[in-house]
Amino acid sequence: MMTSPSASYLPRGELRVNEPMSKHTSWRVGGPADQFFIPADRDDLIQFLINLEPNVEVTWIGLGSNLLVRDGGIRGVVIATHGCFNSIELVNRNRIYIESGVPGAKIARFSVGNDLTGAEFFAGIPGTFGGALAMNAGAFGGETWDVVTKVETIDTSGKTITRSPMEFEIGYRTVSLPRDEWFLSGEILLKPGDSEEGRKRIRQLLSKRSDTQPIQIPNAGSVFRNPDGDHAARLIESCGLKGARKGRASVSTLHTNFILNEGGATATDIEHLIEHVRCTVQEAEGVELECEVRIIGEDR
């Protein structure tokens, strides 16, 4: 069955066929998506969804920074919000409107540039606001939903919905978003602050990140959630897994909760290494690590 919108509809955005997902994930791996759509704007996205054939699987991505796409790729259509939904603006003195494609670093800079504090932690989140909302991303002690006041979602029929935080079950790196909805935008509430102090704080956080994380080598950030009262990195290192490898994928020696693509790794290499780490920690420490990275797609 064709996965494209109806023949009478021509999207204004960019619709690619058999698009390699390795171009759109921070691990630089992943097989082809049947179709890959970059909307021109909100109306184009709505019309695309309205005209999409029934039962087509829809996958949403931002910067692909918390995503492992298997080597067989993704069936259906992938919709990319980064590059389209990039608006960020003050609603009032303390409130900021942010669209889903805005990178975390831009949120942090915009906030301190407007003498607001409480969003500096976004500088340590490598993905977009939409992805941060979807997983309650956090860094340096801050979490996304700590500052969110409302969000706007869109479902696979093209309907947009305004929701409050009370409509979601929100936990550590988890949010109960309905399966057929994706975040389009949201608002955050911050406190007045000094812009120079905010910039200093961001510089300190980024320096700490550079010193403790292998940011120069393709990775997807923390692979596992921290279990209650412990740290995944400590457990992994205690099992002697620092530097462990499968093919061209390896456990970072700088931060053992990071898995690296040393160049030429496949998604299979990475997934096998994830499973090896998980099984080893469970056997040695009696702790079952939960994957923070989203793994999607088909095996080759």
CATH number at residue 181: 3.30.465.10
Task: Report phi then psi at 63, rounded to 5.
Answer: -90, 0
Q: Tell me whether residue 65 is in a domain.
A: yes
How far apart are the C-alpha atoms of 222 and 209, rounded to whole Å? 12
In terms of residue numbers, what domain contains 237? 232-296
Say which of 222, 225, 250, 252 is annotated catalytic.
Answer: 222
Return the pLDDT at 61.
93
* 167 and 106 in a common domain: yes
Q: Tell me whether residue 220 is in a domain.
A: no
Q: Tell me whether residue 1 is in a domain.
A: no
Q: Into how many domains does the chain fold?
A: 3
How far apart are the C-alpha atoms of 23 and 34, rounded to whole Å? 14
**19 counts as catalytic:** no
CATH number at residue 250: 3.90.78.10
Q: Tell me whether residue 5 is in a domain.
A: no
* 243 and 175 in a common domain: no
**87 counts as catalytic:** no
Return the pLDDT at 7.
54
How far apart are the C-alpha atoms of 2 and 9, rounded to whole Å? 14
Q: Tell me whether residue 224 is in a domain.
A: no
* 287 and 193 in a common domain: no
Taking each helix axis from N to C end, the angle separating 104-113 and 195-212, rounded to the nearest 10 degrees, works out to 150
Question: Do the beta carbons of residue 189 and residue 149 sit within 8 Å?
Answer: yes
* 95 and 75 in a common domain: no
How is 195-252 classified by DSSP, letter by letter? HHHHHHHHHHHHHHHHHHS-TTS---S--BPPPTTS-HHHHHHHTT-TT-EETTEEE-
* 204 and 103 in a common domain: yes
Question: Do the beta carbons of residue 83 and residue 62 sit within 8 Å?
Answer: no
How far apart are the C-alpha atoms of 188 and 100, rounded to whole Å? 13
* 95 and 74 in a common domain: no
How far apart are the C-alpha atoms of 134 and 173, rounded to whole Å? 9
Question: Do the beta carbons of residue 108 and residue 121 sit within 8 Å?
Answer: yes
Q: Domain ends where: 43, 61, 80?
A: 80
Q: Tell me whether residue 4 is in a domain.
A: no
Q: Domain ends where: 212, 246, 267?
A: 212
* 113 and 51 in a common domain: no
Return the pLDDT at 1.
33
* 61 and 31 in a common domain: yes
Q: Tell me whether residue 217 is in a domain.
A: no
**173 counts as catalytic:** yes
* 185 and 70 in a common domain: no
CATH number at residue 55: 3.30.43.10
Q: Domain ends where: 46, 80, 114?
A: 80
* 42 and 132 in a common domain: no
Question: Do the beta carbons of residue 247 and residue 265 sit within 8 Å?
Answer: yes
Which secondary-structure segment (H or E) carries 48?
helix 42-51
Return the pLDDT at 8.
67
How far apart are the C-alpha atoms of 283 and 216, rounded to whole Å? 32
Return the pLDDT at 134.
94
* 252 and 207 in a common domain: no
Q: Tell me whether residue 218 is in a domain.
A: no
**pLDDT tens for the chain, residues 1 to 300:** 334 555 567 899 999 999 999 999 999 999 999 999 999 999 999 999 999 998 899 999 999 999 999 999 999 999 998 888 999 999 999 999 999 999 999 999 999 999 999 999 999 998 999 999 999 998 888 999 999 999 999 998 999 999 999 999 999 999 998 888 999 999 999 999 998 999 999 999 899 888 999 999 999 999 999 999 999 999 999 999 999 999 999 999 999 999 999 999 999 999 999 999 999 999 999 999 999 999 999 998
Question: Do the beta carbons of residue 44 and residue 79 sit within 8 Å?
Answer: no
* 128 and 51 in a common domain: no
pTM for the complete prediction? 0.91
Cα R_g (the chain), whole angstroms: 20
How far apart are the C-alpha atoms of 297 and 80, rounded to whole Å? 16
